Chains A and B, each alone.
Chain A
């Protein structure tokens, strides 16, 4: 781990004055990584790759986009029809947003399953949640920019959420809009902030990686690196593994870009925004559906707090609660591999988020999966209840009551044992 000796004179001259090359060498070359990482550990670097893809494709889109209510829609159509490869750049950016969330959700489920949020990785986990929040804000504002019907009405519904807060609600919404409805000032500021946010995300990612490299990567056993035998250098072992995963991921990504570019979007967004007509069924993009379902499932009043405010609070709480799970989880064992009871609750939680997503996509009075008598709103309420119960009840209780399986003495021992059994 001592500073490497550089043979190249130029490299040495630079590094003596600003040790940036040594820093990169430490973090991307010799970084000691657990030798048993599975493919579930690919999604961090994939998320970084998608972030760079989004920034680059976004910069090129801005060269042809006009942030004005009278021209935004047409400028996007011009990108699609007239700008050379404009269709490709826009479809990369549009589907890239979905890819970003797919990769980040998998990355988070990985962290939940293997207990990557537990000490000493709480800060690492927190920064990750901040990145998720920044991504959500960025994606929301970006979706408004093409100024289609879903852009306009999505922006209207989401900004109206803030009117739920007592007293400050209405002035706050007027301030967000810069007027008395979603209009040109709103579009302009969303454009400005949509360009800013990715760089804030980039800064958070630097902190995220910094935190990771100071506490080291978790691994499928959840047992820390104890001896040099437990780790291998990041390069070439994980650079090559990450690259292979990236190849597979790119096939998936390009499949959408080239063969189903509008599959994940909503056709109403190809109708120019009309402030006088609300589309009959407003739905957010798929990655917001579980949170939208939580928002909508609160249709009752508690302690005189109106349903609208409760719904907004529940939706924000569904993410804020992630900040405290390092303390809600009482188990000493990190990896669910050695937690025979909690493992099942984890998968129940995964299913629950999918049910929430389904409920968010349907009208509240529809029947859930066509089951007669089971309204979507009721199913949404039940799955919202489980979402919070998982963190507030299951995590503390199961951690205390379950008897975990014996942990391997070290990463190395577990690898050798699995090799012997194979």
Chain B
């Protein structure tokens, strides 16, 4: 008996229910499509074989004091500088408030004679000069980026030019006194 009364009386709630179902179905569809997209987006992130090459061991015994080397790590150069007493003092003498990206030298090295930094300018990714003997080292005795003129000091900190940050310090561990693992 109540069939007709029921349907006419609850006409409004019925429509709301339909709207709800449409919205819910659409939402599930959108979330589903998003989930389906995720593997494709993530496939563009570094793959396992790229990640597997993420550490490198370096023998330090053949780097004399005052010299530096470039080693490849994750496709980019890492600068390892065997710093002289003068270079270490220079890095420590700067007042922190003079720095663009304030960081003390102690916070950037594990052993003070070894400075290890990623050799990529923090501006737009060029390789700064100053590692090989005789190259221009900029106004602060560290590195100089020829692309847009950034000067880095003997702690790899940005001192002048467009780069916003200090040269990045990679994670590394000294395995022995003369060997280090980067990454």
Report A's interface with B, CB cutoff 8 A: 153, 156-157, 159-161, 163, 174-183, 185, 189, 275-278, 280-282, 296, 299, 306-308, 364-365
Q: For residue B162, which residues in chain A have a CB less than 8 angstroms away from its CB?
A: 299, 307-308
Residue B66 at the chain A interface, CB threshold 8 Å? no
Instruction: Answer whether A179 and B74 are a contact pair too, CB < 8 Å, given A153-B126, A278-B126.
Output: yes
Contact yes or no, A157 B72, CB < 8 A: no
Q: Which residue of A lies closest to B128 (CB)?
A: A278
Which residues B55-86 have CB closer than 8 A to chain A?
Answer: 70, 72, 74-77
> Interface residue tally of chain B, by bracket?
20 to 34
Contact yes or no, B148 A181, CB < 8 A: no
Q: For residue A275, which residues in chain B have a CB less than 8 angstroms away from its CB?
A: 72, 75-77
Stretch at the interface among B16-24, B27-35, B42-50: B42-50
Shortest B73–chain A CB gap in Å is 8
Question: Of A157, A159, A181, A299, which is within 8 A of B74 by CB?
Answer: A181
Instruction: Answer whether A180 and B74 are a contact pair too, CB < 8 Å, given A160-B124, A278-B127, A308-B123.
Output: yes
Contact yes or no, B75 A157, CB < 8 A: no
Shortest B29–chain A CB gap in Å is 24
A189 to B147, CA, bound (A): 26
Q: For residue B45, which residues in chain A have a CB less than 8 angstroms away from its CB?
A: 174-175, 178
Contact yes or no, B76 A185, CB < 8 A: no
Q: Which residue of B lies closest to A173 (CB)?
A: B125
Q: For residue B72, which residues in chain A have a CB less than 8 angstroms away from its CB?
A: 275-276
Shortest B58–chain A CB gap in Å is 15
Q: Which residue of B lies closest to A295 (CB)?
A: B124
Question: Of B76, B149, B164, which is within 8 A of A181 by CB?
Answer: B76
A153 to B121, CA, bound (A): 12
Shortest A278–chain B CB gap in Å is 4
The 6 closest A-B pairs by CB, nearest first: A181-B75, A180-B74, A160-B125, A278-B126, A157-B124, A181-B76
A159 to B44, CA, bound (A): 14
Count how many pairs of residues, one from A and one from B, have CB atoms less than 8 Å apart in the complex: 77
Question: Of B46, B50, B146, which is within 8 A of A278 by CB?
Answer: B146
Q: For residue A189, which residues in chain B have a CB less than 8 angstroms away from its CB?
A: 44
Most buried by A among B41, B50, B77: B50
Shortest A279–chain B CB gap in Å is 9
Q: Which residue of B lies closest to A180 (CB)?
A: B74
Instruction: Answer whether A161 and B124 are a contact pair too, CB < 8 Å, given A178-B46, A364-B148.
Output: yes
Contact yes or no, B47 A185, CB < 8 A: yes
In the complex, 9 of the A-B residue pairs with CB atoms within 8 angstroms, ordered by the A residue number, are A160-B125, A181-B75, A181-B76, A183-B50, A185-B50, A306-B164, A307-B164, A308-B123, A365-B149
A163 to B76, CA, bound (A): 16
Contact yes or no, A180 B76, CB < 8 A: yes
Q: For residue A296, which residues in chain B have a CB less than 8 angstroms away from its CB?
A: 148
Shortest A287–chain B CB gap in Å is 19
Contact yes or no, A179 B46, CB < 8 A: yes
Shortest B168–chain A CB gap in Å is 10
A105 to B45, CA, bound (A): 36
Contact yes or no, A276 B124, CB < 8 A: no
A185 to B46, CA, bound (A): 8
Shortest A329–chain B CB gap in Å is 35
Q: Which residue of A lies closest to B183 (CB)?
A: A180
Contact yes or no, B149 A364, CB < 8 A: yes
Shortest B18–chain A CB gap in Å is 34
Contact yes or no, B44 A175, CB < 8 A: yes
Shortest B43–chain A CB gap in Å is 9
Contact yes or no, A156 B164, CB < 8 A: no
Question: Of B41, B50, B146, which is within 8 A of A179 by CB?
Answer: B50
Q: Which residue of A lies closest to B161 (CB)?
A: A299
Contact yes or no, B146 A280, CB < 8 A: yes
A189 to B164, CA, bound (A): 29
Q: Which residue of A lies closest to B121 (CB)?
A: A278
Contact yes or no, A282 B126, CB < 8 A: yes
Instruction: Answer whether A157 and B44 are a contact pair too, CB < 8 Å, given A180-B74, A277-B127, A278-B126.
Output: no
Known: A159-B125, A181-B120. 19 other contacts (CB 8 A): A153-B126, A178-B47, A179-B46, A179-B75, A180-B75, A180-B76, A181-B74, A182-B75, A183-B75, A185-B44, A275-B75, A275-B76, A276-B127, A282-B126, A282-B147, A307-B162, A307-B164, A364-B148, A365-B149
A308 to B101, CA, bound (A): 14
Shortest A337–chain B CB gap in Å is 43
Q: Which residue of A lies closest to B75 (CB)?
A: A181
Q: Which residue of A lies closest to B120 (CB)?
A: A181
A364 to B149, CA, bound (A): 9
Which residues B125-182 have CB closer than 8 A to chain A?
Answer: 125-127, 146-149, 162, 164
Which residues B70-119 have CB closer than 8 A to chain A?
Answer: 70, 72, 74-77
Most buried by B among A177, A276, A296: A276
Shortest A313–chain B CB gap in Å is 14
Q: Which residue of A lies closest to B43 (CB)?
A: A178
A276 to B46, CA, bound (A): 21
A174 to B54, CA, bound (A): 14
Shortest B112–chain A CB gap in Å is 27
Q: For residue A174, which residues in chain B have a CB less than 8 angstroms away from its CB?
A: 45-46
Q: For residue A276, which residues in chain B have a CB less than 8 angstroms away from its CB?
A: 70, 72, 77, 127
Shortest B63–chain A CB gap in Å is 17
Q: For residue A182, which residues in chain B have a CB less than 8 angstroms away from its CB?
A: 75
